[in-house]
Structure 1
Amino acid sequence: MKKQLYRKSGTVVLSLLLGMTMLFAADRVRPQKEIRKPSAMDSPVVANNWKFHKIGALWNRVTNFSYMGDDAYENRTPSCDYPGGSGNSYLYRGTLWLGGFVDGTFHLTTGEDKEFSPLDSVFLDTLNSTRADQETFTRYYDVYAPGASAHVPLGLEVTERTYAWSASYAGDFIIYEYTIKNVGIDSDGDYFPDTPQDIRDFYFTVRLDGDVSKLPTWGAEDKYSNQDDWVMCNSQWDWLERCPQMAGYDHGLTAEEADSSMVFMFDYDNEYYPSEYVVDGVPVDDDMGNPGVDGKLQSPGFLGIKILKTVPEMKPSSFHVCHIYNDPATDQEAFDRMLGVHEFEDITDYQGSGVPFPAHDYRGIYTIGPLADFPTGDSVVVTLALGVGSDPDSGRIYSMKKLVQIMNVAQFIVDNDYVLAVEAPTPPILNIEQYTVDGVTEGVMLTWDNQAETNSYFQYYKVSKGMKRADGSIDWDTLATYVDTVGSTSWPPPSGPTSGTYQLIDTDVINGYVYHYSVQAYTKEINDPIPLGQAWSQLTDPKSYKIISPSNPTATETLDDVKVVPNPYIGSAKWNNPSPSDNFPWKHRLQFTNLPADATVKIFTLDGDYVAKVKSNQTVIIGESVDLSSPSVAEWDLMTRNNQEAAPGIYMYVVDSPSLGQKVGKFVIVR
Structure 2
Amino acid sequence: MRNLMDRSIKGVALAAVAVASTYGVSWAEDEYNPYGTPGGKYGGPHPLFATSEPFIFYHNVGLLELFVCNVGRVGNGQLNGLSDQVSAGWRGGEYLYIGAMWIGAIASDNLAYVSTGGYEFELLPELNPIDTMYTAYEGITNGNRPGFSTQPDDDNDGVTDEEFLNGIDDDGDTLIDEDYAAVSQQMYSCQYYDYTELAKSLNPEHRPLNVRVQQRSYAWSTSGSNEFVGFDFDIINDGFETLRQVYLGFFVDSDAGPKDAEGYWTDDAVALYSTDSLITDPTIGTTCEDRVSHEQVNCGEAEYNLDIMYMWDVPDDGNTATGGDVDGYFGGMFLGHTTDAFGVRAPAEVEMHTARFFSGSNPYPAGDPTNDAERYDLLQSGERSRRPSQQPGDYRYTFAAGPFAEVLPGERLQLQVAFVIGAGKDGMIRNAINAQRIYNGAWKDVDQNLATGVDGAETCLHALAPGEPQFWRDPCDSNNVTQRTIKEVECIPENYVDADCNCCTPITDGNETLVHWVGSVAPPPPGTNLDPNDWDFDDPNGDPNAPSGIGVYAPDGDHKVIIQWDNLSELTADVASRSILFTGYKVWRVEGWNRPVGAVGPAPTDWQLIADLSYDPRDGEGEESESYLPKFADANFDSAACQESGDCELVVTGATGADSLKQYRPVGYYTYVDSAGLKNGMYYFYDVTSYSIVPLDSLNTTELEGLPAAVEAQAVIPKWGAVEGGSLDGVFVVPNPYITGGEANGGNPAGWDLVPSDKDPTGTRIAFAGLPDRECKIKIFTLSGDLVRTINHDGRSGTAFWDLISRNGQDVVSGVYLYAIEAGNEHKIGRFVIIK
TM-score with structure 1 setting the length: 0.67
What is the deviation of 1:213? 5.8
Is residue 2:180 matched to residue 1:130?
Answer: yes
State the AA in 2 paired with 1:430.
Answer: T
Structure 2 counterpart of 1:161, which letter? Q
Question: Which residue of the partner structure matches residue 588 of structure 2?
Answer: 464
CA drift of 1:569 comes to: 0.4
Q: Distance in 1 between matches of 2:618 and 2:590?
A: 30
How far does residue 381 in structure 1 lie from its aligned partner after superposition? 1.0
CA deviations on 1:96-116 (whole Å, 9 max, x unpaired) are 141459898766554436494
| 1:613 corresponding residue in structure 2 | 790
**Which residue is equivalent to 2:722?**
554
**Counterpart in the other structure of 2:634:** 498
Contact kept? 1:179, 1:381, Cα under 8 Å: yes
Sequence identity (%): 19
C-alpha change, 1:286 and 1:212, in structure 2 (3 Å) is: closer
Give the secondary-structure state (helix, strand or coil) at the position aligned to 2:266: coil
**Is 1:383 the counterpart of 2:418 in the alignment?**
no
Instruction: Specify the code of the residue in structure 1 equivalent to 2:602.
Output: I
Q: Which residue of 2 aligns with 1:50?
A: 49
Deviation at 1:301, TM superposition (A): 6.1
Does 322-331 or 556-565 show the bigger shift?
322-331
Cα drift, residue 506 of structure 1: 2.6
Correspondent of 2:70 among 58, 63, 68: 63
Give the distance between the partners of 2:817 and 2:238, measured in 1 at CA.
Answer: 72
Contact 1:446–1:503 (Cα < 8 Å) also in 2:
yes
Assess, with a 3 A threshold, how the Cα gap between structure 1 residues 120 and 639 changes in structure 2: closer, same or farther: closer
Matches of residues 76-475 of structure 1 in structure 2 within 5 Å? 76=82, 80-82=87-89, 90-100=96-106, 108-112=114-118, 114=120, 116=122, 118=124, 120=126, 122-126=131-135, 128=177, 130-132=180-182, 133-141=187-195, 145=200, 147-148=202-203, 156-165=209-218, 167-169=220-222, 172-181=228-237, 183=239, 199=244, 201-212=245-256, 215=259, 222-224=262-264, 226-236=265-275, 259-272=305-318, 287-289=324-326, 300=328, 302-312=330-340, 313-314=346-347, 315=349, 316=351, 317-325=353-361, 326-329=367-370, 339-347=380-388, 356-371=389-404, 373-374=405-406, 376-377=408-409, 379-390=411-422, 397-412=426-441, 416-417=514-515, 423-431=521-529, 441-449=558-566, 452=569, 456-467=580-591, 468-471=593-596, 472=599, 473-474=601-602
Secondary structure at the residue paired with 2:82?
Answer: coil
Unmatched 5+ residue regions in structure 2? 1-44, 51-55, 137-176, 278-299, 341-345, 362-366, 444-512, 531-539, 543-552, 574-579, 636-668, 742-747
The counterpart of 1:580, out of the listed 753, 756, 768, is 756
CA distance in 2, matches of 1:608, 1:103: 73
1:509 equivalenced with 2:644 (yes/no): no
Matches of 2:828 and 2:121, distance apart in 1: 65
Change (3 A) 1:534 1:59: farther
**Helix, strand or coil for the counterpart of 1:259?**
strand
Q: Which amino acid aligns with 2:441?
A: F
**2:274 partner SS:** coil
CA distance in 1, matches of 2:121, 2:830: 64
Cα distance change, pair 138–605 in 1 and its aligned pair in 2 (3 A): closer
2:776 counterpart letter in structure 1: A
Ranges in structure 1 where 5+ consecutive residues have no aligned partner = 1-46, 184-192, 239-253, 276-284, 291-299, 348-355, 618-628
Measured in 1, the distance between the counterparts of 2:787 and 2:209 equals 66
1:636 Cα shift?
2.5
- Against the structure 1 CA distance between its residues 578 and 519, is the aligned structure 2 distance closer, same or farther, given a 3 Å change threshold? closer
- CA–CA distance in 2 between the matches of 1:343 and 1:126? 36
Query: Which whole-Å CA distance do the structure 2 matches of 1:526 and 1:74 have between them?
Result: 48
Equivalent AA in structure 2 for residue 602 of structure 1 = K
How far off its partner does 1:212 sit? 3.3
The answer as to whether partners of 2:369 and 2:375 remain within 8 angstroms in 1 is yes
Distance 1:522 1:267, change over 3 A: farther
Preserved contact between residue 434 and residue 445 of structure 1 (Cα < 8 Å): no
The counterpart of 2:607, out of the listed 469, 477, 496, is 477
Output one character per residue of 1:560-593: Cα deviation in whole Å (capped at 9) or x when no partner: 3211100110133345555322243343311111
How many residue pairs get aligned? The number is 539
Label 1:649 to 1:147 Cα distance change in 2 as closer, same or farther (>3 A): closer
Question: For 1:383-403, what per-residue CA distance to the aligned partner results, in whole angstroms no more than 9, with x for missing partners?
Answer: 21243435xxx5653344224
Q: Is the 8 A contact 2:440 2:517 kept in 1?
A: no
Is the contact made by 2:335 and 2:439 (CA closer than 8 Å) also made in structure 1?
no
Q: Deviations over 1:515-572 (max 9, x none)?
A: 21111112347879xxx98543352379xx9542222221134333211100110133
Contact kept, 8 Å, 2:108 with 2:243, in 1: the verdict is yes
Shift of 1:498: 1.7
Question: Is the Cα contact below 8 Å between 1:120 and 1:140 reproduced in 2?
Answer: no
TM-score by length of 2: 0.55
SS in 2 for 1:203: strand
* Cα displacement string for residues 38-57 of structure 1 (whole angstroms, at most 9, x for unaligned residues): xxxxxxxxx86633544653
Two-structure CA RMSD over aligned residues (Å): 4.5
Rounded to whole Å, the distance in 1 between the matches of 2:396 and 2:275 is: 19
Quick check: 2:117–2:123 contact (8 Å CA) kept in 1? Answer: no
> 1:594 aligns to what?
770
Kept in 2, the 8 Å contact 1:319–1:345? The answer is: no
Partner of 1:522 in structure 2?
691
Aligned residue among 801, 804, 817 for 1:651: 817
**For residues 350-402 of structure 1, what are the alpha-carbon distances to aligned partners after superposition, in whole Å with 9 as ceiling and x for unaligned?**
xxxxxx5223222222122234x327548451221243435xxx565334422
Report the AA paired with residue 553 of structure 1: G
Distance 1:198 1:614 in 2: 60
Note if contact 1:50-1:61 (Cα within 8 Å) is conserved in structure 2: no
Distance 2:399 2:564 in 1: 49
State the AA in 2 paired with 1:328.
P
Cα distance between partner residues in 2 of 1:308 and 1:575: 46
Deviations 1:322-374 (A, max 9, x none): 12421235666567667324444331xxxxxxxx5223222222122234x32
Rate the CA distance shift 1:493–1:446 in 2: closer, same or farther, 3 A: farther
Answer whether contact 2:731 2:770 (CA < 8 A) is retained.
yes
> Displacement, 1:425?
0.8
Q: Is the 8 A contact 1:156 1:180 kept in 2?
A: no
Q: Are 1:75 and 1:583, in contact at CA under 8 Å, matched by a contact in 2? A: yes
CA distance in 1, matches of 2:782, 2:373: 70
* Corresponding letter in the other structure for 1:60: F
How far apart in 2 are the matches of 1:541 and 1:413? 33
Q: Deviations over 1:617-657 (max 9, x none)?
A: 4xxxxxxxxxxx95422322333455544332333333333
Shift of 1:610: 4.7
The amino acid across from 2:393 in the alignment is H
